Amino acid sequence: MLQRIEDDEAGFPLHGSYHEDFRRVVDAFIENYRVEDEVGSAVSVVVDGETVVDVWGGWTDRTREREWERDTIVCMMSVAKGITAIAFNQLLDRGIVELDAPVAEYWPEFARNGKGGVLIRHLLDHTAGIPVLTNETLWPGAVNDRDAMVEALEQQEPLWEPGTVAAYHVHNQGWLLGEVMKRTTGRLVGPWLREEIAEPLGADYWIGLPESEFDRVARLMPSDGLRLMNSKDSERPEDALRKQAFAQNPEGPWEDWVNSTAFRTTELPSGSGHGNARAVARIYAAVAGGELDGVRLLSEEAIDRMTTMQHYQYEKLQDRHYRQGLGVLLNSPDAVYMGPHAEAFGHHGIGGSIGFADRAERLGFGYSINKMHAVGTNGPRAARLIDATFASL
């Protein structure tokens, strides 16, 4: 039986419901506000098709004047990569795109400047060799111009032989997958996601957010630990590739950009996804259990393929090991923690949000935040909730 949360039991706005066996997840959620720098957040867990935790609390911005509501959404950053991966793997599942076909088979202009050997799988596993754009005609703020970025990707030369080196295509992966999707289906990732995934599941998740939804968006607030996302002045040699990855970000405070109309509405499938914990947990639960409420997103064969490890390289852009699947990350405890099972898969967002699936437990998990962590991994707040979830099973 689901238990309702009493408004006054935490000392801050707290709402939602939970199965009595999962009370420790609620306690962990409250603990995050007591010992961490939490402002507003939500956590949701679906096990074997049943929502066992759906909790939200705190406030939508640093003024603490407006409470986080049931339908509050927030940018979950690179959580979008995992959702985009599920969408793109639907194309593979339906035979629309072949995994080992050259990208140029679907997008002829992409073959320019030595990219004829880049395969679809290289886009999904971050080995395409174009993690950054070196085109000097691009400008600060070009990241908001999808057409300009796609054209620059057509012109870009690989930095190394495609398929040999992993480097996190932090922005570029989304445009690469999105252009293949557009060429083969006539739809960009955002519309495909809404029509093929979010709406069938009743999942409140968007890539390219309509302005009509802005009133319920929580303000994303960075921490000092994320300064490289808009810093152009670091002189550390190891930061050179990362600086290039963000060279087309707008000048000025990073917080202003990620809360702007341009960012929210743009088709940036690697990072501009807006949603909440409930939506992400439902999407991953549909994959973890094969289906959810009669909705099947991928065949079992497609899920097996998507979650087969492609490599475990020390990727060059963020200098970290990832166990990499086809678009999704596999549980990589030193970088992206998803509980005790190696087979778990999903994607974190820089600053702390995360969504993942655990097929062994038929479990979908989502956590969304607005005050970002000081580290690029999913961090201690998410880990506390994840540990409490698995301890409750």
Q: Is residue 148 part of a domain?
A: no
Q: Is residue 115 part of a domain?
A: no
Based on the structure, what is the number of domains in the chain? 1
Higher pLDDT, 17 or 229: 17
- Burial classification of residue 9, based on how many CB atoms lie within 10 Å of its CB (0-12 exposed, 13-18 middle, 19 or more buried): exposed
**Backbone dihedral angles phi then psi of residue 74, each to the nearest 5 degrees:** -155, 155
3-class SS of residue 108: helix
* DSSP state at residue 361: T
Q: Is residue 268 part of a domain?
A: yes
Residue among 302, 356, 307, 346 at smallest CA distance from 91: 302
Between the alpha carbon of residue 363 and those of residues 171, 208, 358, the distances in Å are 29, 27, 5
pLDDT of 100-131, one tens digit each?
999 999 999 999 999 999 999 999 999 999 99
Q: Is residue 76 part of a domain?
A: yes
Going through the chain in order, the beta strands assigned E by DSSP cover 2-4, 14-19, 40-47, 50-58, 74-75, 206-207, 273-275, 314-315, 320-321, 323-324, 329-330, 345-348, 354-358, 363-369
Q: Is residue 250 part of a domain?
A: yes
Alpha helices in 118-239 (DSSP H): 120-124, 146-155, 172-185, 189-193, 199-201
Q: Which residues pair with 366 in a beta bridge?
A: 44, 355
pLDDT of 258-301, one tens digit each?
999 999 999 999 999 999 999 999 999 999 999 999 999 999 99
Domain containing 231: what range?
72-84+192-376
Residue among 34, 11, 17, 18 at smallest CA distance from 380: 34
Q: Is residue 16 part of a domain?
A: no
Over the chain, what is the mean pLDDT?
A: 93
Give pLDDT, residue 242.
82
- Burial classification of residue 211, based on how many CB atoms lie within 10 Å of its CB (0-12 exposed, 13-18 middle, 19 or more buried): exposed
Q: Is residue 223 part of a domain?
A: yes
**Strand-strand pairing, 345-348 and 363-369:** unpaired
CATH number at residue 277: 3.40.710.10
How far is residue 383's CA from residue 386's CA, in Å, rounded to a whole number? Answer: 5
Q: Is residue 305 part of a domain?
A: yes
- Please state the rounded mean pLDDT for residues 312-331: 90
